[in-house]
Structure 1
């Protein structure tokens, strides 16, 4: 399973805490659609609408920018 929090942990990258929090917030949005038959779904309550979708996309973009900058150093 591709748990974003677990994958980040395995990289051992040092990233800002606010990015770690954004990854934790993004994880359920990724896990539930990616694994619809997941036996142990994250407990998660969220209304998907345009406003919230924009927040999720914005957060994901910030995560990508941060991770790219970290990985370019390797």
Structure 2
């Protein structure tokens, strides 16, 4: 995605910092088990949403004109 190694590295580091900033207060409020359960549910829902969207895009790509280059 990025042609510059440092941009890719800092992007991944920024995502890691943001996730820690979300995880630490959640664990402080709900405990370790509650925080783990919440983030597992969020991860599962994100995965299902991604799979569903990819399936819909593949199914309706002809109707949406996806993949065609217009000059």
Task: Answer yes or no: same fold by TM over 0.5.
Answer: no
- TM normalised by structure 2 equals 0.37
- TM normalised by structure 1 equals 0.35
Greater Rg, structure 1 or structure 2? 2
Which is bigger in relative contact order (C-alpha 8 A, separation at least 6)? Answer: 1
From the two aligned structures, give the one with the greater helix fraction: 2
